[in-house]
Amino acid sequence: MHFKLFDKAIYKQRREILRSNIGSGLVLLMGNEYSSMNYKDNVFPFRQDSTFLYYFGLDKDGLAGMIDADSGEEIIFGNELSIDDIIWTGPLPTVREMAAEVAVQKTEPYTQVANYVQQALKAGRTVHILKPYRPENKIKLAGWFGINVTEVDSKVSVKLIKAVVAQRSHKAAEEVAEIEKAVSISVDMHLAAIRQTRPGMKEFEVAAKVEEVALAANGRLAYPTILSIDGEVLHNHYHGNTIADGDMVLVDAGAENDMHYAGDLTRTFPGGKQFTSRQADVYNAVLGSMDHAISLLKPGTTYLEIHRQACIKLLEGLKDIGLVKGNPEEAVAAGAHTLFFQCGLGHMMGLDVHDMEDLGEQYLGYTDTLIKRTDFGWKSLRLGRELQEGFVLTVEPGVYIIPELIDRWKAENKLEQFINYTTLEQYRDFGGIRIEDNFLITADGHRLLGKYLPKTLKEIEALRNY
């Protein structure tokens, strides 16, 4: 095989659990196709759908998997290579050979999916599908269901979503081992950046050193690298600035390993050898918030509460600096922290860097009784629910000084009882700081995943001692 797999018994067992949770009807899981970049044959790197990978393992384009929850029949749909295909791809295993590797007995040509779906629908059976995020899968499903493309989302099976989320949220030991590999590669990506950055370098030169590490480990990027001296721009993919002494460099980068599990780490370090004292103070406020959040990670606590506690701790630190005033807990209740920390404390991580986000944030990060908030800041918290043993998640507090946001708030004197706008004015060009690590929730607490990546001010500056 051109791809790696767990033992076939693992896939079989995962499907059996899904089947018993679904009870009745057909489960149809769509694999992905190649997606064209600028013309048909020039394609983006192939990425298999994560739920398909979880249950059927096969890292190959043009496949679909079906589980008949009533009869127990399992089918892989896919087309055999023609001689024209083989000229371009070389010989590859047959669909039957691939299916055998994940303990699936039956295979059918891809065109047969339509027949199975339509016969089931005709017989009044439920065909359970997930919400497609790729246009080509949406179009195919519309054709098979005999509906308009705009109606496909209404056919999504909430029962299937909930069953998949329930299973994929709890990482088994073999998954944790793969995530640890991905995180450790990610640690090396960050060490490359922290050790090799010099004033005068372009951001893209550092990004090249970061990304090389993932490729050299037979991995790839789990998401596009964020590497910037403008760290306040949350998803900043521009790499054209020159790094100067006195700047801070924010690097948010992670590897996807050869089993497609992700790492997601962030560090912020000085462009020169040392942080300025202003930078050091804010850095320590972020680190204090992070360490407090980490100390609270355990089963039974909601991540929403840990986010709230992290925000309070952050404001305590910013109060010491003079950027905020008043009671930090009341300030967080009023939303004052969102001027500095506009996003969430973290998210689930696994086969996807934001694990299962395609299944819907309400289903993966919240519950029927804990509804995701919609107000500024809180709406970006992707995980709110009670933590359970086996969850893998990120902890990533930050401070982002966004001049445009300050101007808006200041114009309204918004929350002026908590914000020290005069002092904040002197921080307009401060930039942003984020620190991020990845954790497993254990029976009695948590465990840092992967190798330790230095994060205290002293440790970071020691690595910058060029």
Site residues (vs Mn ion, CB under 5 A): 264, 394
Query: Which of residues 15 and 347 has its CB atom nearest to ligand GLY in the complex?
Result: 347
Query: Which of residues 175 and 252 has its CB atom nearest to ligand GLY in the complex?
Result: 252
Q: Is 357 in the site for ligand GLY (CB under 6 A)?
A: no
Q: Is 223 in the site for ligand GLY (CB under 6 A)?
A: yes
Q: Is 363 in the site for ligand GLY (CB under 6 A)?
A: no
Which token pair is 188? 């090396």
Q: Provide the minimum distance between the beta carbon of 223 and ligand GLY in the complex, in angstroms, as a whole number.
A: 5
Q: Provide the minimum distance between the beta carbon of 234 and ligand GLY in the complex, in angstroms, as a whole number.
A: 7
User: How many C-beta atoms lie closer than 10 Å to residue 127's C-beta?
Assistant: 20
Q: Is 361 in the site for ligand GLY (CB under 6 A)?
A: no
Q: Is 256 in the site for ligand GLY (CB under 6 A)?
A: no
Q: How far apart are CA 7 and CA 89, in angstroms?
A: 26
CB 266 within 8 A of CB 252: yes
Q: Is 264 in the site for ligand GLY (CB under 6 A)?
A: yes
Q: Provide the minimum distance between the beta carbon of 336 and Mn ion in the complex, in angstroms, as a whole number.
A: 24
Report the partner that residue 157 touches, choosing among Mn ion, ligand GLY, none (CB closer than 5 to 8 A by kind). none
| CB-closest chain residue to ligand GLY | 264
Query: Which of residues 104 and 314 has its CB atom nearest to ligand GLY in the complex?
Result: 314
Output the CA–CA distances (angstroms, integers) from residue 321 to 176, 292, 380, 399, 400, in the order listed.
Answer: 39, 18, 26, 13, 15
Q: Provide the minimum distance between the beta carbon of 47 and ligand GLY in the complex, in angstroms, as a whole number.
A: 16
> Which regions of 58-139 does DSSP assign to beta strands (E)?
64-68, 74-77, 106-108, 127-128
- Point out which residues pair with 68 in neighbouring strands: 26
Q: Provide the minimum distance between the beta carbon of 375 and Mn ion in the complex, in angstroms, as a whole number.
A: 21
According to DSSP, residue 373 is labeled P
Query: Which of residues 74 and 437 has its CB atom nearest to ligand GLY in the complex?
Result: 437
Q: Is 355 in the site for ligand GLY (CB under 6 A)?
A: no
Report the partner that residue 223 touches, choosing among ligand GLY, Mn ion, none (CB closer than 5 to 8 A by kind). ligand GLY
Q: How far apart are CA 431 and CA 10, in angstroms?
A: 46
**Closest-CA residue to 460 (of 280, 293, 208, 231):** 280
Report the partner that residue 110 touches, choosing among ligand GLY, Mn ion, none (CB closer than 5 to 8 A by kind). none
Pick the binder of ligand GLY from 175, 247, 252, 358 (CB under 6 A): 252
List Cβ neighbours of 350 (8 Å cut-off, separation of 6 or more).
50, 168, 171, 175, 179, 261, 262, 356, 392
CB 251 within 8 A of CB 213: no
Q: How far apart are CA 340 and CA 306, in angstroms?
A: 17
- Point out which residues pair with 228 in neighbouring strands: 250
Q: Provide the minimum distance between the beta carbon of 396 and ligand GLY in the complex, in angstroms, as a whole number.
A: 7
Alpha helices, H only, 24-66: 50-56
Query: Which of residues 222 and 339 has its CB atom nearest to ligand GLY in the complex?
Result: 222
The site for ligand GLY (CB under 6 A) is made up of: 223, 252, 264, 353
